[in-house]
Structure formats: C-alpha cells, structure tokens
Amino acid sequence: MSLAMRFETDTGTLPARPERQAEPVLRAEGLSRKYGPVTVLSDVTLDILPGEIHAIIGENGAGKSTFMRLLSGYIEPTQGMLSMAGNRVRFTKPDQAQAAGIALVHQEILLAEALTVTDNLFLGRELTRGGLVDDKGMRHVAAAKLAEIGCAVSPTSLVRDISLADRQLVQIARALLDEHRLVIFDEPTAVLTGEEVERLLAIIFGLKSRGIAVLYISHRLDEVQRLADKVTVLRDGKMVGTYPGHSLSQFDMARLMVGRELAALYPQKRAVRTNQPMLSVRNARVPGYVQDVSFTVHKGEILGFAGMIGAGRTELFEGILGLRPANAAIELNGSPVHIRSQREAMDAGIGYLTEDRKGKGLLLQEELAPNLTLSALARFHPGLMVRRRSEAQALAQAVSSYDIRVKSLNVKAGQLSGGNQQKLLLAKVLLTEPSVVVIDEPTRGIDIANKAQIYAFIQELVAQGKACVVISSEMQELVGICDRIVVMREGRISGEVSGEAMTESNIALLATSERGHDVDPGGKL
C-alpha cells in the first residue's frame, strides 16, 4: 500500500541548497483556459519549488479557482502545459493529478456527514485485507494521520458530530493521506476562527519543513503575508506577476490585485445620512446563530455588517426578515412591526438581496420577466391575471435603469453573467418598493466594472432616502461604501466603527479576537 508516508524527494538536503537550483515540483507554462469565447485564465507561467509556500492572490473572478482546477485535473487547459520534475504531464481527471502527487484541499467541506471520520478519510480507497475492508488498519492509519496534523477528534466519531474546524482538518488529513509532493489549499481559512487558523498555518509550515511544496490560494492578505515565500497575483484572468513574499506589504498586494481602478471602484461618499431612524432592531435572537443583537439604521445611511463567515450576519437578517425562526423587537419608521415571513417583511417595506443569488435569488431556468416580478406579483398584477404587457415594460425599464446587458429580453436568467444576474436581482427586490434594503454580499463573484456599478446603485438608493444595510465579507468594500460598520463575531456585535476608525485592520481585530480593543495590533499581523 502506498499509504505509508514516504518522502523520497531530497527532503534532507533541500534546505541547505540555494533555492534557485532546486528542480520545480510543478511548472506551468503559458497556461490558459477558455470557455467558449470567454477567456477566464490566460498565459499563467510559474514554478513551484519544493519546500516553498507559493500564494496565489486575486479578487473574486480573477481566475484563482480556475488555475487550481487546472492543476488538479478537474479541467484541462486550452493552451499551455504543465510539467512536474521536468517531465510534461497532462491531467484529464482529478485522480491523475492525485496519482502524480498533487493533493487538493477543497474550499467547501466535502465529507459524508453520516459516516465516521475514518470512513471519510478512506472513502473510495479503502484498505482491504484478504478482500475484506480492513477497518482496524484504517482506524490505525487515520489516528496517526490526525495526530500528525494536530486534530483531536476520534477516528470513530461521526463527521456530523464534529465541529466545522475539525471537519476542515479531516479534509486536510484526507488530502495528505496519499503520497504528495504539492498540496494545494483553496481558501482554507474561510470557515475557521483565529485559533483554528493558527493551527492550520502550523500544519502548512510543517509541510514546508518536510520539503513539500504548498500552493496557497486566499484573499486573506494577512495570512498570505505571514506564509508566502512567493506571491503570484492574478487579476481578471491574467497574471500580474510573481513577487517575493516578504517584499510586499498588504497594501501592495491589494493594489496589485485591484489594479489601477482601485480609486474609481468606490463612488465618492455623499453626506445624505440623516439622524432619522428607519429600521431599529432590539435584542434579536436567532437560535443557534445570533444572541442579543441590537442596531439602528437611519434614513440615507449605508450601514455595513462585517465579520467572518459563520459570525451570524446572514442568519441575523434572515431571522429579522422572517426567513428563519427568530425573536426580535423591530421598529420601522418609529412604529413597531411584527414580521413572521418574507412576505410580511416585504409588505412592511424591507427588501432583502440574498447572498445566494443562484440558489435563492433567481429562477435560473426562467426568463427574465417572471424573475423580475416574482416578489411583486400582487403589487404588479392587481387582480387575478398576470399582465404580460406591463411586465415587459417593467423589464425594459429595469434593463435600462440597471444597465443589465442582455442579447435579448427572452433569455433565461441562468444565461446572464454573474454581474447582470446581480443587477436583475437588485431590480427584482427594488420592484417591491422597499424603504430599507438589505444587501447580502452585493458583489460576490462579479467583475470589477459591475462592482463599481452596484456600488453606485447602492449610493443612489440612499440618496433617494432609503436606508441600506450591506453585509459583506470583503472589508475593503465595506470601508469603501459604508457610513458606519457594525462588526459581528460568534453571533454577537463585537464593535462598531465609523469615520476615521473605519479601517480594515480595526474591523479585522473586532471580527477575530475575543476583545478586539485589548489586542495589540502589532502582534496580530
């Protein structure tokens, strides 16, 4: 069995040699990928050396995931080639990349919850003994592997019973079970909290010290700065360049990622904020997610909600808006309202743009007009029947007002690009004429030009006298557009920043540490 961990690479001698002389574990030359006429990645050339941590950074949609999928055999390049240790390789299937020693740690947790940790580690490659599954042997190897990466769960626990962070570690153990020369981490810290991130970084440094090459894909610049020997920046599917890790500040990285458009991305802030409370929420509780959250958003204000994934931001608003069980005292324009369903929230004048555009926002198989009016059927079609005529007019109006780029008005929503889908979703929610608009991840997975437009639309909304709540995992975005930012951590509000104090580092401290203001900022980075 090849599961015993043997590393035949020149692990022992490697650190002593100068880096330049080492043969790259993996070399990508002119790697490109097109989908039809659309180029999502073009001409990426880089070397990954043994014992090197190579970070790939870029904004959403920059091509990081495509690059990772090319390396691990999920898709094939349309141009360019890969070579490992000097030999050209072609992967048409993920198993081939795996067999060549490329291990991939997925961003999403892909484990079977009803099975044990051991079962998951060996799923599809069970050890056998005399033709039967060798449970004892597998438990043994699993225990050793888990101990190696410092994961304390029992190999016999069911995955559904262990924490999210432990699941991530199990997933890493699974990737490391096979012999590997290059380990790819795709946004591994997205679900982890501060302490768990530290544990993960220790694992990665452990790999490095054994001469394993690591490709680290992330948009968390602080982690990248601590880890990376080299940083390759992607922007809009193109390679900006590869830089020595320690030569770049976080600001440099952000500048390289966003490019020249950084300044133009966010609209000039306008002072339209008033002191008139529009939506005020007291003691909101969402069982299992949010404890005792209170906040107020004013007419003309853009209020940001920051925090790590899992901090309970989305759940808070889904609770307030009747999409999941919750308790909260809600006042809208000074009068108390009782909201038990999304319908009642809409009728009260609160609109919500979900973060899950494709799964919860739009009917991808439907045409644009039915999507546009779906939330506003009653308002839009008084009486029994659907009025196609006025629906078509509304669509034409929305397409021009929100600059939704479509070839024809009869296409299906699923055929639009992410940015255009988001604009359609915005139009759909605004058709219910809300006075408060809650936008969850306004620019997830959309390109920079569309981002800038969405920001402008949000500003237009508050200029019209609406109040706006923006939930985002991109701190830069919140700092760029909000008047004030509430930071959540583990289901509670951990602080609030506005004005000069509204910086990414302040938000990060509040989002990650127990008592943000007590932590020395220098020690954290």
Residues that bind another protein (CB under 8 A): 323, 341-343, 345-346, 352, 354, 356, 359-366, 370, 374-375, 377-378, 381, 384-386, 388, 392-393, 395-397, 399-403, 406, 409-410, 428, 430, 432, 456-457, 460, 464
Identity of the residue, 243 or 380, whose beta carbon is nearer to another protein in the bound complex: 380
The CA–CA distances, whole Å, from 358 to 195, 214, 445 equal 33, 32, 11
Identity of the residue, 98 or 453, whose beta carbon is nearer to another protein in the bound complex: 453
Residue 466 CB, nearest distance to another protein (Å)? 11
Burial (Cβ within 10 Å: 0-12, 13-18, ≥19) of residue 251: exposed
Residue from 313, 329, 413, 427 nearest 376 by CA: 427
Helix/strand/coil (H, E, C) string of 500-511? Answer: HHCCHHHHHHHH
Identity of the residue, 364 or 519, whose beta carbon is nearer to another protein in the bound complex: 364
Residue 371 CB, nearest distance to another protein (Å)? 9
Residue 375 CB, nearest distance to another protein (Å)? 4
Residue 403 CB, nearest distance to another protein (Å)? 5
Distance CA 198, CA 203 (A): 9
Identity of the residue, 222 or 403, whose beta carbon is nearer to another protein in the bound complex: 403
Identity of the residue, 98 or 354, whose beta carbon is nearer to another protein in the bound complex: 354
Identity of the residue, 218 or 432, whose beta carbon is nearer to another protein in the bound complex: 432
| DSSP β-ladder status, 38-48 and 26-35 | antiparallel
The CA–CA distances, whole Å, from 32 to 29, 44, 70, 288, 303 equal 9, 7, 9, 44, 40
Identity of the residue, 254 or 406, whose beta carbon is nearer to another protein in the bound complex: 406
Residue 263 CB, nearest distance to another protein (Å)? 21
Residue 327 CB, nearest distance to another protein (Å)? 20
Residue 311 CB, nearest distance to another protein (Å)? 21
The contacts of residue 437 (CB under 8 Å, 6+ apart) are 350, 351, 352, 353, 429, 430, 461, 466, 467, 468, 469
Residue 410 CB, nearest distance to another protein (Å)? 6
Distance CA 351, CA 362 (A): 15
Identity of the residue, 93 or 388, whose beta carbon is nearer to another protein in the bound complex: 388
CA 84 to chain centre: 30
CA 500 to chain centre: 27
Residue the block writes with tokens 């609406």:
466
CB atoms within 10 A of CB 459: 19
